[in-house]
Structure 1
Amino acid sequence: MIHPAFFISDSTGITAETLGRSVLSHFETIDFDYIVLPYVDSVEKAQRAVERINLAAKDYGTRPIIFDTLVNQDIRRVIATSDGFIVDVLDTFLNQLEIALGKKPSCTVGRAKGPEQEARYRHRIDAVNFALDNDDGAKLDRYDQAEIILIGVSRSGKTPTSLYLGMQAGIFVANYPLTEEDLEDNRLPKALQNHRARLYGLTIEPERLAAIRTERRPNSRYAELRQCEDEIRQAEALFKRFGISYLDTTHASVEEISARILSEIHIRGHHRS
């Protein structure tokens, strides 16, 4: 049985989704259908959200789980009329912190950021734009601006990891796809040779890679298991030859992959914003 899980927010929904997914990941025997409803900032939008929740309850035949970070009490009361089970993300923490700190929280929708917070926000946006501009080796002349350069064969998880690191940690990440020609040479591509200290490799099990590539290009040499096995073997040999740290993305979420990379970046002494 698939269980619907809603993440509802009067803003982007990133907080509700991040915390909610983390909690639900502990229920490994249950398959969840994740549905994000951002910018629910009016009673009318809340009513439409309730309609979707109730429809999901009917379609799936089970009570939806709702994680919300709503501040407006009128909107929260509307969501409370739904057929879902509500987990109030903010109250879970704010009530306890209010007791510990002896102060009431400032519950303001879209609360304005201070100068430092605003600067951090702008930095993360710049990092995301950098990841987009430097996806799949798009702008090799900007690699000196990257804090880290992810390398790996096509479809090994480089792009989502680059974007996640930019959005969540403000890390400027470029990524470079190791092509068949690169791997046959058994040496670092010319574009990477001056940036060895910034390289981080991603690998993946050949069977999983073949399945992903088949969805993209079915019945192609690109998706053949033998081709995937050869590319992965050569890529890992390249990582080992040049002392490039790497990790297997097969059974890891983008959050887990990013956390591993960030922990190693921290050890290396890289700056994080």
Structure 2
Amino acid sequence: MIPTTSGGRPLVMGVVNVTPDSFSDGGQWFEPEAAIAHGRALLSQGADLLDVGGESTRPGADRPPVEEELRRVLPVVESLAAEGATVSVDTMRAEVAARAIEAGASIVNDVSGGLADPEMAAVAADSGLPFIAMHWRGHSRDMQDRAVYADVPAEVCAELAERVEHLLAAGIARENLVVDPGFGFAKLAAHNWSLLRHLEQVVGLGYPVLVGTSRKAFLGRLGLPEGSAPRPPVERDVATAATSVYAALAGVWAVRVHNVPPTLDALRVAAAVTGAP
């Protein structure tokens, strides 16, 4: 069952990167003990869900061997789930998803929407767990070469709808599907802003929507001259909170963030305003 929103706001999914080359934290939580401690901290700060991933999906990233991905994520998933956390495993590999489910993961978050591994849909269907399908046009190494759109919201929605039909046909229950428009994946800054502006079109597909804008480069370039290097990821949290408010107003199910407190505060403000008489 897909966890439900609370307090008139989207759920907050805290990011637990178990990678040495994360764009956001540079591998700060790479070792299992550090990642587990970080997950606990995110929960204490108010995260509703934890998303544990062992493969960096930053533009240009190389994929780790499956054995390495398993080594990274399984102890973290097992420990946090055993402590009562609702844990999502962030993976494009069916084997990793299956093993993580055995370890206690209760959601599968696949940034490829099941396209990267032909066995993924069957694993998700057999599990009976929620499956998050993101809009995806290819792996990190060359995905930005595919960032070509005439109408980005319409094309993202059409491609997501097509992917959903394949997943339904593969046996995933409609009530277990969540969609993610894939901010930053095969999308340039202008595409991301347009997608955020028209996010209600994604919500209009009729499925819960996960939004992940957290610390992405298009936020780091705000207010800077053309061609400037973006601000460091840790300086993008206020902008992340602002985009999370826009997402909340569009009616999304959850937002995926690295720094929980500022986004949670912003979402509470939005809920208080929209709920006021």
Q: Which has the higher helix share?
A: 1
TM-score, with structure 2 as normaliser: 0.29
- Please identify the structure whose Cα radius of gyration is greater: 1
Higher relative contact order, chain-length normalized (CA < 8 Å, sep 6+): 2
TM-score, with structure 1 as normaliser: 0.29
